[in-house]
A and B are shown apart, each in its own frame.
Chain A
Amino acid sequence: TTSSWSFMGLKEGKRARRNNLIESDTIIGVIDSGVYPESESFSGKGFGPPPKKWKGVCEGGKNFTCNNKLIGARYYTQYPDSARDLMGHGSHTASTAAGNAVKHVSFYGLGNGTARGGVPAARIAVYKVCNPGASGCTTDGILAAFDDAIADKVDLISISIGGDNGSPFEADPIAIGAFHAMGKGILTVNSAGNSGPEPSSVASVAPWIFTVAASNTNRAFVTKIVLGNGKTIGRSVNTFDLNGTKYPIVHGKSATSTCSDDAARLCSPGCLDSKLVKGKIVLCDSVQNPEVAKDMGAVASIVKSQYAEVAMIFSFPVSVLSEKKYNTLLSYVNSTKNPKAAVLRSETIFNQRAPIVASYSSRGPNTIIPDILKPDITAPGSEIIAAYSPDVPPSLSDTRHVKYSVETGTSMSCPHVAGVAAYLKTFHPRWSPSMIQSAIMTTAWPMNASTSPFNQMAEFAYGAGHVDPIAAIHPGLVYEASKSDHIAFLCGLNYTGKKLRLISGDGSICTKEQTKSLPRNLNYPSMTAQVSASKPFKLTFYRTVTNVRKGKAATYKAKVVGSKLKVKVVPEVLFMKSVHEKKSFTVTVSGTGPEADNLVSAHLIWSDGVHSVRSPIVVYAAN
């Protein structure tokens, strides 16, 4: 966060417009691995007492003290009985969403800046559901955390937890918890998952959950390697300085006396011979086992990774190369008598092309509800510096203790959107969860598929695009979906009779019309439909927009961008006389279905000359 907020236009301190009074009254519930309460990011200095609406408690267990910033703590894990963060992850996400602004933060001098949350004046309530190792994050604990967070009256829930794929709602604890949160006006922001770039890998699939993909920012950590014949650039967060000294290079394959070539080239555990690697730089064809070379006395390692677009922390000097660069290096080694190289200390560069959706970020289409686009939005998730727990090593077999560390994943992009949602809510305290979600989606920066080889999934990779906190304050129009709209949506999915009656809590029953309604007609800010491959199709989306622009009337005209689909919007002009006025329209899309496993997309933009309300329209053919 020392650079991600500025990257997306949310400037530091007084340079960003804020509603401090309401921001200070905002409470973000973070369901994660707890926090390190002594972190400066959670200091209560300068904060008044908790907001009056707060119904929670500080039950963080032994040796856990709350304050007026960290106003609540509960844990649902066993031994130790504490909400203290034993993984670093919860401290990182909580400080990204709502951490204090802490100046001069860096990771051993790298990535220096002010670590801050999206809403530094807001309060944090901690719900610890994860412990390291086999304990993991139990779903019975996660559901208990939702039960408490909703009743404690948090304004928003951030949860960077998920499974490997989607589940039916009635067996998905995050969907269940988020549904009841939505019913109480609480938006749940959830990470999309790190199983990308596989299609249909997104695990957060419910329309009442705001699902966040991850992208990079313009800042990157690079670790140069100086070869005998010139330089090359790798990725890592290497804070170890070998003073530019060149060391002999040996490939894992040539440094074994016990394993096959295939195992040795990967530097698999037990394969490297210390006599052959001591004092050298070891080349490994995989990023999986860097510590093996270190344990055998290597001074550094250069590894190959399919996804070398993200820098990670290692416990000794490592540089990660893409396949192409690694192979160049290998041919240098194989063609040179005494190959040598130097692995330099990392640097930060600020001209990386961004935002590009991360290869690891889970993709759609939505396996549970094919006609609801997931993920919804993209935010910075790669190489984020934020609070950490000094009780936890920053990387495998690392002896260092840090209060701020670099983490990567949709776990990091999720709290960025939670912070933006909370920021938005300080300007529009009465907006419902769907209005907040709509405002962020329809004002997102457009992203495109051409900027990275992994992007061929386009909107299934980045949803509506990259979050833009400032534009989201004034979206012009929003797509609202109330609890009853979601109940009708469930009717269309055959949640009838007992299930619906119990879930709704008000004895709802489905009308014949609702039972026949299509999921794609939920009033969602994006429009998605699965069609048959390579066959003609014609389908209609029904939508309603609410005018949220105060003051004078406005005339919105429809425009469709992206030519491959034939799109007809009726009516094409919406005249909005007053704020909160609603107008409905239809979007009829026709054409020939794309080939299997492909999508074709366009964007519907309602514009009044001031606001641009942009919604993706995605038509795809599953395999």
Chain B
Amino acid sequence: ADNEQDKQVYIVYMGALPARVDYMPMSHHASILQDVIGESSIEDRLVRTYKRSFNGFAARLTESEREILASMDEVVSVFPSKKLKLQ
């Protein structure tokens, strides 16, 4: 099993918000995450969700979980959250 230090925060970018009125971004993100990590509780994995202007979430993932997510049809890209600088 992947232990704690193998995880890092990744951003899962899913593009524009689907126009469907019945689309529920947060439950979609939760179900994707549960599928990938194989656990029902995503509490200590989910860092942030992006749901107002575009679609996606940030989560603590292992490299193998990242690969699975990146290959999903509804995911544009999965990339590590980094630190940028004030200029």
Contact = CB atoms under 8 A, between A and B. Distances in A.
A150 B52 contact: yes
A142 B56 CA distance: 13
Contact of A176 (B17, B19, B54, B87): B54
B41 to A, nearest CB: 20
Interface stretch (A499-507, A529-537, A561-569, A610-618): A499-507
Contacts of A501: 15
A163 B86 CA distance: 9
A452 B51 CA distance: 47
A502 B74 contact: yes
Nearest to A413: B87
B58 A140 contact: yes
A138 B83 contact: yes
Contacts of B53: 146-148, 150-151, 180-181, 184
Say what secondary structure dominates the interface of chain B: loop
A140 B84 contact: no
Contacts of B86: 32-33, 87, 89, 130, 137, 160-161, 411
B33 to A, nearest CB: 15
B52 A148 contact: yes
Contacts of B9: 138, 140
A147 B51 contact: yes
Contact of B18 (A144, A164, A192, A505): A505
Contact of A505 (B19, B75, B81, B83): B19
B85 A180 contact: no
Interface residues of B, number: 32
A87 B76 CA distance: 35
B49 to A, nearest CB: 8
Nearest to B79: A171
A180 B82 contact: no
Nearest to B73: A498
A163 B77 contact: no
Interface string B23-36: 00000000000000
A162 B50 contact: no
B50 A191 contact: no
Say what secondary structure dominates the interface of chain A: helix
Interface in A152-190: 160-164, 170-171, 173-174, 176-177, 180-181, 183-184
Given A409-B87, A503-B16, A505-B17, A139 B11 contact: yes
A443 to B, nearest CB: 25
A140 B60 CA distance: 11
Interface in A492-547: 498-499, 501-506
Nearest to B18: A505
A144 to B, nearest CB: 5
B84 A163 contact: yes
A505 B11 CA distance: 19
A170 B76 contact: yes
A180 B52 CA distance: 11
B68 to A, nearest CB: 15
Nearest to B78: A171
Contacts of A414: 87
A184 B18 CA distance: 15
B16 to A, nearest CB: 2
Nearest to A142: B84
A193 B86 CA distance: 9
Contact of A138 (B13, B18, B79, B81): B81
A27 interface: no
A499 B87 contact: no
A410 interface: yes
B16 A180 contact: yes
Contact of A194 (B16, B76, B87): B87
B13 A170 contact: yes
A76 B84 CA distance: 14
Interface of A: 32-33, 76, 87, 89, 130, 135-144, 146-148, 150-151, 160-164, 170-171, 173-174, 176-177, 180-181, 183-184, 191-194, 409-411, 414, 498-499, 501-506
27 contacts: A130-B86, A136-B84, A138-B9, A138-B84, A139-B83, A139-B84, A140-B9, A144-B48, A146-B54, A147-B50, A147-B53, A148-B53, A151-B53, A160-B87, A162-B87, A163-B85, A164-B85, A170-B77, A173-B11, A176-B54, A177-B54, A180-B16, A194-B87, A410-B87, A499-B76, A502-B55, A503-B16
Interface of B: 9, 11, 13-19, 47-48, 50-56, 58, 73-77, 79, 81-87
Closest 6 CB pairs of A and B: A505-B16, A502-B15, A136-B83, A151-B52, A150-B53, A140-B58
Given A160-B87, A193-B87, A411-B87, 4 more contacts: A89-B86, A161-B87, A163-B82, A504-B16
